[in-house]
Amino acid sequence: MTTLIWFRRDLRLADNPALDAAALDAAARDAAVIPVYVHADEREDGWPPGAASRWWLHHSLAALAADLDRLGSRLTLRAAGAADDALLALARETGATRVVWNRRFEPAAAARDRRIEAALRAAGVATETFNASLLHEPEAIANQAGRPFQVFTPFWRNCLARPDPAEPLDAPRHLPPPARWPRSVSLDELALRPTRRWDAGLEENWRPGSRGATDRLAAFVREAFGQYAAERDRPDRTGTSRLSPHLHFGEIGPRQIWHAVRTFATPRRLRWRESQFLAEIGWREFAHHLLHHFPQTPTEPLRPAFADFPWRTDPAGYAAWRRGRTGYPIVDAGMRELWHTGWMHNRVRMIVGSFLVKDLLLPWTDGAAWFWDTLVDADLAANTLGWQWVAGCGADAAPYFRIFNPTSQGQRFDPEGAYVRRYLPELARVPAEWIHEPWKAPAAVLHEARVTLGVDYPRPIVDHAAARGRALIALASITPPARPRG
């Protein structure tokens, strides 16, 4: 008897409830376990992974395969037009009587999973699914009226009032192999890595896989957790966990993070349950809660009035924003960090997002599309929440009239200009006094810094004060909806 464990966004061995169930069942029935990853038609998910996500997926699958090999098992890879066809074929080939997997909560993926479950059961194959990616099922949290939350604070208060998540599961020590392994394509045949090697910066900055994830978590709780509230908005410092891509691909789960923080904080009597860091895990939960209940939001504003917003068309401005050539150093540094590393500091994400949708008046969906292709942590729920937040058109959004000033934001959160200099080497010699507004620097200062505006570094493509006024006029042309109440 054989059980298939279908891996997706749960590329880890520890705290993997589907894998744990497969291992326990195999031990009880003297059965085999076959780990499977199906690279199906990407249209099945509705949102095919972007280039940076595909790079990460390649390396994460390689790491998972190595971890399984150490258990005496192996990862079977299949490339198929549809996941249900691949799983049914594997069940026939191997004689599998059971398929287990961890649920996904994106609307298109969840609908596909229901179809797959029905197809397998119709073929006489038992199925069982689990929750490995969230602390709570999206439908389990509701306000007093039984409706979904649309404001974060009461949502997270509701979550914190519940019992602590269960302790993380240990990784199995052994997975019994089948008498004969099914055929498998090679990882390279999935063609996930770029043909033109633009990924050197990703290679330098990341170590995909569960070991990279647990090492990063351990380093964070040891070195930065205690100062997180004070340091998290400083892109010039190492104050954040950088766990988001590991969480997205399921190389680590939120229960593991929850209990690692508790273990670290409890002996020190830190108020860990109220920590800003755990609240960020809460925002991730909130993003999936919203996407589950409002599945249209990746392409449509949650607040209907914003459907009539008078967005501009500006291909040159959009290109300058993508390339990090807007003339505003904190914006350009963020966009170049994104291109080089596949990641961007969260404070800077808000700044560059505000610049796109308010200074340039370009649609938030354009920004979401660029982030989707270039972020290694591109997550549909988080990406949607973040862009609707900054555009003012979503749940718990920033007030529609909040427009970040890129100069003052840079001066406040990168006061010495270390972050800007890291990603804009052409401004490396500009003194801190002028680093965030080089167009105001005296000619002698720019000459000494070897900067010629318009040549080495662009002048601002838009005047922020004028752009702010234009944005407020545009925003006044629609009727901003009232803020939701929970």
Q: Which residues are catalytic?
A: 280, 283, 311, 346, 364, 387
Tokens in use for 36?
A: 């499977």
Q: Residue 211 burial (CB < 10 Å; 0-12/13-18/19+)? A: middle
Query: What span, in angstroms and rounded, lies between the C-alpha atoms of 255 and 244?
Result: 14
166-172's contacts with Cβ under 8 Å and 24+ in sequence apart are 166/255, 167/255, 167/259, 168/14, 168/15, 168/253, 168/255, 168/256, 168/259, 169/14, 169/15, 169/16, 169/17, 169/20, 170/14, 171/12, 171/13, 171/14, 171/16, 172/13, 172/19, 172/20, 172/23, 172/71
Query: What span, in angstroms and rounded, lies between the C-alpha atoms of 104 and 107?
Result: 9
Alpha carbon 163 to its chain centroid, in Å, reads 26
Question: 343, 245 in Cβ contact below 8 A?
Answer: yes
Strand order in the sheet with 2-7: 76-79, 32-39, 2-7, 96-102, 126-130
Question: 9, 253 in Cβ contact below 8 A?
Answer: no
Tokens in use for 114?
A: 């229901």
Query: What span, in angstroms and rounded, lies between the C-alpha atoms of 325 and 179?
Result: 58
Question: 353, 360 in Cβ contact below 8 A?
Answer: no
